[in-house]
A = this chain, B = another copy of it.
Amino acid sequence: MSTLSLKPYSFARRLPAIAPMGAAQAAKKRQVIPLSFGSPHSDTFPYKPLIGAATDAIWTHGRDSLQYGGAGGPVIVLDWVARRSALRSIHVDPSQVLMTYGSQQALDYVARALLDPGDHAWLEGPTYFGAVSTFRTAEAILTSFPIDEDGLIVEEVERALEEAERLGKPLPKLFYTMPNFHNPGGISLSLERRQRLAELAYRYNFFILEDDAYTELSYTGQSLPAIYSFAPERTIYLSTFSKIIAPGIRLGWAIASQDTIARVNTFFQGSKASVFSQEIVAQLLTRLPFDEHLASLNKLYRDNRDAMVDALKISFGDDVTFSIPEGGFFVWLSFPEGIDTSEFVKDAEERGVSFIDGKQFFINGGGARHARLSFSYCSEEQIREGVALLAQSYYSYLDNRRR
């Protein structure tokens, strides 16, 4: 039958009209200094131990690890995650740890497990665009709440919850938050606000989706207790090996109460996290001195952060403001009121540097005067050069506006 008779087909409503941010971000040309990339530095990957680990995963454990993962992965990894989580006051049995195909899969499954179409999900603005896409695909209705230097302004969340209850408006089914080294905000949630948010989750019966991808990248060595520790029955905690081993391993995890993990787990038929990847990580963890590894990658990132902060001061003086991040990958710039950073994204790229304009991190078109710079992927030299190019682009944009 010929193509001429082809009728239009209506795809599902949940399908995004355009590709989400992630793809666009990665498609940028190689010649450009990618201060837009929220990726780890390739120097931090433990290449040699990984080869030994992969060889053992294939040769010694391959008859099982190369099979389907129905029976679950190696206990070594679950034990490691449970033990390590105790540093953040999360005390759980390894059976409460669910390994996932990166934390993106955990997000997707949790969103689908908690949210019916039309349900409400609340989150921060700015927030991680991958999560926004995921909640939209679950057909949730989104509302965002501002952050300041101490993270999410929980007082505003509380007011909104009280008002919703008073007026009989819908309460959220979940609140998505990044308490440590926020993407893109760079800040962390204060202890007091963690406790307050946990109390609200019980009182108003929503789940906190605690995305803690950057938690190990603390340049001060400090670590606050996870929100999970204050609301274990109403928190689903997510983290990942992407920043501390390598994203290509595609291994993240969710931690929740036994009941909740069992519910989320019903989604996981053939899609369970690859046992092969888990076995590689298991073998890696037995041969990698993890504390040294972590110290060395945090040194690299701290040096990169310092390079970026210095470069920003040199190139911009007081014309932009930002909190100095104590961990993670990002500096969140605030330009003066009236600036729209999306208006010089293209020019900056032509000059040779990429960044992500603030509006990409908001669900409602706010954030125009902000920009996210990553200091994780590039070298110190690239960072200095990239920031200088960004400043050229910004001041040229300012000049043009004044004309």
Contacts and interface: CB of A to CB of B under 8 A. Distances in A.
B112 A15 contact: yes
A68 B247 contact: yes
Contacts of A105: 101, 271
A206 to B, nearest CB: 8
A113 B270 contact: no
Given A3-B233, A62-B45, A16 B270 contact: no
Interface string A238-281: 00001000111110000000000001011111110011110000
B233 A6 contact: yes
Contacts of A205: 7, 9
A42 interface: yes
A71 interface: yes
Contacts of A39: 67-68
A270 B42 contact: no
A309 interface: no
Nearest to A71: B26
Contacts of A250: 101, 274, 276-277
Contacts of A3: 233
Interface in A61-117: 62-71, 101-105, 108, 112-117
Contacts of A32: none
Contact of A27 (B71, B103, B231, B267): B71
B266 A20 contact: yes
Contacts of A59: 47, 51
A269 B27 contact: no
A346 interface: no
A36 B25 CA distance: 45
Nearest to A1: B202
Contacts of A247: 66-69
A106 B117 CA distance: 22
A267 B136 CA distance: 11
B45 A54 contact: no
A167 interface: no
A342 interface: no
A102 B27 contact: no
25 contacts: A1-B199, A12-B114, A12-B138, A15-B263, A19-B265, A20-B266, A23-B268, A25-B70, A26-B71, A39-B67, A39-B68, A42-B62, A42-B64, A42-B67, A45-B62, A47-B58, A51-B55, A62-B246, A66-B249, A67-B247, A68-B242, A104-B269, A105-B271, A137-B267, A250-B276
What 7 A-B pairs have minimum CB-CB distances, sorted nearest first?
Answer: A26-B70, A104-B270, A248-B276, A66-B248, A66-B246, A22-B269, A42-B63
Given A16-B267, A47-B62, 15 more contacts: A1-B231, A12-B114, A19-B266, A22-B269, A22-B270, A42-B66, A51-B54, A51-B55, A62-B248, A67-B246, A67-B248, A101-B101, A102-B271, A104-B270, A108-B271
